[in-house]
């Protein structure tokens, strides 16, 4: 009922609330980030079980560089550790890993780990896991636009190809965007791809967001009437 599109479902999640989760428990923000990283494992596996085709997680935005350097360094270590620990399991589970966003501001060691994870998991077909790191949708659109004047084919499709190039990976249009933590904004995430995405906001902090919560969000999404600009009668016919 809800979709005119035939591609496997593309789900994105803004994983918000780690710091507040820790603060509510009298713990440092780093504890919340560690707990959030553990929850990524849970939700990735749940998404694969729920037959999500592509899962894009907002791990670190371009604006997050403005956070205290100690917190940024801890987040980068968590990301590197996650890739090192999870790559082999993703290979076993048929999960392909891609990292989107800028890479020039990441450490050489982290870039090497990213390259290895992408290479090792390249044959995964069960789920495409995309991790957005040093990512800004507006910057990506701007960088693609700067290259577009050289394009031999002037079309939306060719622009989308350029957008995929500058972000290190294209994906289908977004179907469902979930944001945890109670905030209700996109925060410069997948602005082009989210043109017709359904939005789902939950007050649950990311460390508390469970596989059952994901199933509930997907069930609500599948019950929505997605018309893509058409009138209901046209969809029904």
pTM of the model: 0.90
**Residue 192: inside a domain:** yes
pLDDT of 6 > 70? The answer is no
Tens-digit pLDDT profile for residues 137-184: 999 999 888 887 776 677 788 888 888 888 887 778 999 999 999 999
The confidence score (pLDDT) of residue 152 equals 64
The confidence score (pLDDT) of residue 3 equals 43
Residue ranges in 149-210 assigned as alpha helix (H)? 156-166
Which among 16, 39, 134, 175 is annotated as catalytic?
A: 16
The confidence score (pLDDT) of residue 171 equals 78
**Residue 3: inside a domain:** no
The confidence score (pLDDT) of residue 153 equals 73
Q: Which domain holds residue 149?
A: 10-236
Distance of CA 38 to the CA centre of its chain: 16
pLDDT of 221 > 80? The answer is yes
Residue 39 designated active-site:
no
**Residue 59: inside a domain:** yes
The confidence score (pLDDT) of residue 162 equals 81
**Residue 4: inside a domain:** no
Residue 64 designated active-site:
yes
Which residues are within 8 A (CB) of 229 and not within 5 positions of it... i.e. 6 or more apart?
Answer: none
The confidence score (pLDDT) of residue 197 equals 96
**Residue 5: inside a domain:** no
CA atoms within 13 A on the CB side of 8: 13
Total count of residues recorded for the chain: 237
The CATH number of the domain where 78 resides is what?
3.40.1180.10
Tens-digit pLDDT profile for residues 99-108: 999 999 999 9
Average pLDDT of the residues of the chain: 91
Which residues are within 8 A (CB) of 211 and not within 5 positions of it... i.e. 6 or more apart?
Answer: 42, 43, 45, 46, 49
User: Residue 5 — very low, low, confident or very high, per pLDDT cuts 50/70/90?
Assistant: low
The continuous run of DSSP H or E covering 131 comes out as: strand 127-135
User: Residue 237 — very low, low, confident or very high, per pLDDT cuts 50/70/90?
Assistant: low
Mean per-residue pLDDT, 65-80: 95
Tens-digit pLDDT profile for residues 175-214: 999 999 999 999 999 999 999 999 999 999 999 999 999 9
In percent, how much of the chain has pLDDT > 90? 78
Tens-digit pLDDT profile for residues 121-135: 999 999 999 999 999
3-state secondary structure of 60: strand
**Residue 62: inside a domain:** yes
**Residue 2: inside a domain:** no
Mean per-residue pLDDT, 86-108: 96
Distances (CA, A) of 12 to 26, 186, 200, 218, 234: 30, 11, 10, 11, 28
Domain count, the chain: 1
**Residue 196: inside a domain:** yes
Which among 18, 39, 63, 64 is annotated as catalytic?
A: 64
Tens-digit pLDDT profile for residues 51-68: 999 999 999 999 999 999
């Amino acid at each position: 009922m809800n979709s005119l599109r035939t591609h496997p479902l593309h789900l994105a999640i803004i994983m918000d609330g780690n710091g507040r989760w820790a603060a509510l428990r009298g713990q440092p923000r780093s504890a919340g980030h560690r707990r959030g990283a553990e929850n990524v494992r849970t939700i990735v596996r749940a998404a694969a079980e729920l037959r999500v085709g592509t899962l894009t997680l907002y791990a670190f935005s371009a604006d997050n560089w403005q956070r205290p350097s100690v917190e940024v360094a801890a987040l980068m270590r968590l990301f590197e550790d996650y890739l090192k620990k999870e790559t082999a399991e993703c290979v076993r589970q048929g999960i392909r890993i891609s990292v989107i966003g800028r890479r020039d501001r990441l450490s050489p060691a982290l870039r090497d780990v990213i390259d290895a994870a992408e290479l090792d998991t390249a044959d995964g077909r069960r789920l495409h896991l995309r991790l957005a790191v040093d990512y800004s949708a507006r910057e990506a659109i701007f960088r693609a636009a700067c290259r577009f004047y050289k394009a031999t084919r002037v079309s939306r499709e060719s622009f989308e190809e350029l957008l995929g190039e500058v972000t290190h990976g294209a994906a289908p249009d977004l179907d469902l965007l979930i944001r945890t933590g109670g905030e209700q904004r996109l925060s410069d995430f997948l602005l082009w791809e989210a043109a017709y995405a359904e939005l789902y906001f939950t007050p649950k902090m990311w460390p508390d967001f469970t596989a059952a919560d994901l199933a509930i969000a997907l069930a609500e999404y599948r019950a929505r009437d997605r018309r893509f600009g058409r009138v209901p009668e046209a969809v029904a016919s």
